[in-house]
Structure formats: structure tokens, C-alpha cells
Structure 1
Amino acid sequence: MTTDFLDETTQQVQEQKTPKKLVKERQFKGMSLSERKLARREKLIEAGIETYGTHGFFSVTVKDVCIEAKLTERYFYESFKKSEELFQTIFLQLVDQLQHTVMQGVMQSSPDPKPMIHSGLMALFSMLKADPRVARIIYVDAMLVQELHNHATIHETMGRFDRMIHAFVMLMMPRINYSEQEISLVSTGLNGYVTQVAVRWVMGGFKLSVEQVVFACEAVFFSLLNSFSEKQSA
């Protein structure tokens, strides 16, 4: 790190003394200033996933993240105001990945509802088991970081999964005899159920197999699916 760091520092000092128009044209190791900033930001995000996901948000300092990223603290504050901002960025990025993974799982088994439910749940819990860091960040620490609650990040994220389940129900049963409000409440309940199962599973150290956890969630989804199907055909 020392040689690159010294070269980078020298380059930044030169950039501070150079008119802005020239700075835009200056390259360092084939990268512009904005590209280097973006690369440093990505390093910090990767380091945050590793440190927060391994040791927990409340046991990690800015210095710890920077050591993992092999960057000095000045570069941390170049991209983030505080630890909570980095954590929020990571949380939202991981939730995006998780939601995309679940949707892929669901659509791979389309159009049969039960295989779609199974595939979606398998995708969700398999991703968490494959990378416990992701599981800890999303389903343990995110629930405890007050900043995410203050900014309604948790609420908005849960809402995204509510809407995903809602869309799935409407896709499978477009003629269902329930109101939008009723289906919305059911979707929220299903999401809450899966979330609580995931939290207990993660905090318990993944003692149950993925198949067992999926079965526990499927039981509720399938029961509701049967109930809705009866209502639709009535």
C-alpha cells in the first residue's frame, strides 16, 4: 500500500495546485480523479461488508474499515460523513441484490405458483446461508442501527418486499375476490413472517438447514394460496 499511497498523495497535492480544467484531463495510472474516487468508495463498501458482516456494526470503527480497505481515514470522509452512512449504503445495496435474487428464483419457476414460491424462498435463504455477512447486516444489525429507523430506511425496504409479494399474488390470481387493501395487509403479514423466521435463523447460527427454513415459510404461503384459490373459484 505504501508506494501507491505516496504516489496517490503526491498526485492529489499536484491536483490541488492545478486549475480545475487541467485536473479533469490529468490521469493517474490510467484513471481520472472521479474514477479514483469511485474506486476508493467501492473499496470502502467492500471493506464495510467484510467488517460489519463479520464483527457487527457496533464493534467496528471507521479506522477498522479503512484498515480493511487499505485506505487512510481521509478517504473515508471523502465518500461518507459517518459510519452510519456507509452502513446504510451497504444495506440498501445488499437488499437490492437480495430482491433481485429472489425475483430471479421466482421467475425461473413461472407460471406454476407453488414452484415459484419454493424457488423464491430457496433463493432467499440460500443467499443468506452462502454469505453470513449479508445475513448479519440485513437481518441483525440493520434492525438495531437507529439511523436506518430515523431515516425510514427499514420501513421503505420492508415496503419493497411487501409490494413484491403483492405483485406475485395479483399475477397468480388476477380475479381474486379481495380488495387491494386486504391483499396489501396479507402481503405485509407474509413479509413479516419471513423476516422473523430469517432473523431467528441468522441469530441462531443457521442451525436449521435451508430446506427446513424454506418448509416453515412454504407452509404459510401454500395455506394462503389454497385459501385464495378457493375464494377465487367461489
Structure 2
Amino acid sequence: MNAQESHQIQDVVPGRPATQAAVGRRYSGQESSERVRERRARLVEAAIEVFGTTGYASSKVKEICRGAGLSERYFYESFVNREDLLYAVYVDLTERIFEVTRRALEEAGDDIVAGARNGLAAFVRYLLDDTRYARIALIEVVGVSEKLERQRFAALDAFAEIVRHQVLTQPVPQREDLEPHANNHTDRVWIASVALVGAVNHVMVDSLIAGYPVCAELIVDVCFEFFENTRTALPRA
């Protein structure tokens, strides 16, 4: 191998600078690490468009790079493959959803019931206002890999924890009609919380798959009614 061939191979190895002098070099006032983060963010946004419209299964790295305005070389600078990018997109989306839900809960102050409704409304609206988000978070990630399934179930459990918190912090009268063995408050709340999160999730999935728009306010109204009926039916700890 001659020197020219060696130099050409070095140039196409993802993430490897062509020369030591390139490390830390500034372009347009940006450090190299800043440019890497900026390119990664562009790829994530381009992937949201592709995964959220045409779907993950039929997507191509070249298509995503074209949407980001980057060459494929820069794709492999930040991601191993398409699944790695889908994982990053899903984590990014769930972090955004948690943030808007958290803010909505905080705005209600000490009013637990209002906070629960605000949080539910923020969650539903965020996903349905841009159905690309809903398609990725609720459909495209399902069954892709064991790693993504673990992350998906962790996210669902985190949302169930929000519901558990709302239920546990709201006192309700003890029901006399329950059998003694049924008065295990913690277990009942856990089961109810997981069921409520699953119900909201499936309502939106069904709407997306059916292909007809469902009013976000109607989903919030019906699901919040489920929440309230469940909360008042649970025994107090």
C-alpha cells in the first residue's frame, strides 16, 4: 500500500481525524465537539421526519443524511446504525414528553386532581399535535430489538409512576365493601396505574392505525374520567 492509498483510507474511517493537527480545530467559531453535537442533532431531527412519516422499517441511512444535509460519513460519526439512531430519537422524544408533563403538573400546584388532568392533557396534546412523535413513540419502536423494548417498558413504567404518585397522594374514603385481602393499597395502585397508562397508550395507537383523527380533548376527557373513577374506587392506604 502506498502513502496516497493509506491517506485515503484514513480519511474515510468514521470519527478519525485525518491528521493530528485537525484535533480541536475551529470552523466558523465552533469547536470540533460542538460541530459533532450540532450534526448529531440534525440527524435526530431528520430521523424524526423519516421515521415519523414513512416509518423505520423502510428508512435508509442515505435518506436520513439527505434530510440532515450531511454526508453518510457523518452519520457513522454519531451512530452505529439505524437502530442506534432510532434509540436516540426515542430517548429524546420521551425526555421531551416527560418535561412537558412535569411542567403541566407543577402548574397545578397542590391541586392533585387538576395536576393529573393537566399532565394527561399535556401528554396527549404533545403526541397528537405532531403525529410523527406519536408514530415513533407508540408504534415504530415496538419490537425492533430487546434494547429498545427495555427502554420502552422503562418509559411506560416511568409514566405509570407519575399516575401512582397522583393516586397515592390523594386521600379517598376507605371502601367497606372490599374483602380484607383486597385492601393491599400499594399493589392495587400499581395495577391500576399500569392499566391506565396502557389504556391511554392504546387509544392513541388505535387512532393512528385507523388513520382518522381523534380530538385530543375528547381523549383527555374520557381517559381522565377513567382516572377519576379508578382513583375514587381504590381503598385508602
Shorter-normalised TM range: 0.7 to 0.9
Shift of 1:109: 2.3
Partner residue, 1:17? 19
Q: Where does the alignment leave 5 or more consecutive residues of structure 1 unmatched?
A: 1-8
Aligned partner of 1:3 in structure 2 is none
In structure 1, the residue matched to 2:3 is none
**CA offset digits 1:135-175 (Å, max 9, x no partner):** 1101111124235445x112211111121211222222399
Q: Which residue in 2 is equivalent to 1:153?
A: 151
Relative distance call for 1:206 and 1:112 in structure 2 (3 A) is farther
Give 1:201's aligned residue.
207
Q: Which of the numbers 215, 218, 236 marks the counterpart of 1:232?
A: 236
Shift of 1:123: 0.9
Q: CA RMSD, aligned part only?
A: 2.6
CA drift at 1:79: 0.5
Look up the match of 1:216. 222
* Per-residue deviation, 1:99: 1.6
Please list, as runs of the form range in 1=range in 2, the aligned pairs for 1:69-108 lying within 5 A after superposition: 69-108=68-107
Instruction: State the 1:121 CA deviation.
Output: 1.8
- 1:205-230 alpha-carbon deviations (Å, 9 max, x no partner): 352211211122112101012213xx
| Equivalent residue letter for 2:18 | Q
Task: Report the CA distance between 1:118 and its aligned residue.
Answer: 2.0
The one-letter amino acid paired with 1:75 is Y
What secondary structure, in the 3-state scheme, does the structure 1 residue paired with 2:169 have? helix
- Total equivalences in the alignment: 216
Q: What one-letter code is carried by the residue in structure 2 that aligns with 1:28?
A: Y
CA contact (8 A) 1:44 1:76 kept: yes
Letter in 2 for 1:16: A
Percent of matched pairs sharing the same residue: 27
Structure 2's unaligned 5+ residue stretches are 1-10, 175-182
Report deviation, 1:179: 3.5
Q: 1:30: how far off?
A: 0.8
Residues 77, 64 of structure 1: alpha-carbon distance in 2 compared, 3 angstrom cutoff: same
1:47 aligns with 2:40: no
Corresponding residue SS for 1:58: coil
- Indicate conservation of the 8 Å contact 1:139/1:202, yes or no: no
Deviations 1:95-126 (A, max 9, x none): 11112212222232233333222212211111
Q: Which residue of structure 1 aligns with residue 191 of structure 2?
A: 185
Q: CA deviation at 1:27?
A: 1.1
1:176-216 Cα offsets, whole Å, 9 max, x none, are: 86432332222111111111112112223352211211122
Shift of 1:75: 0.7
1: CA distance, partners of 2:172 / 2:34: 47
Cα distance change, pair 221–174 in 1 and its aligned pair in 2 (3 A): closer
Q: Structure 1 length as normaliser, TM-score?
A: 0.82
Report the Cα distance in structure 2 between the residues aligned to 1:156 and 1:222, rounded to whole angstroms.
25
What per-residue deviation string (whole Å, max 9, x for no partner) do you get for residues 45-100 of structure 1? 11111111121111211111000011111110111000001001100110111122
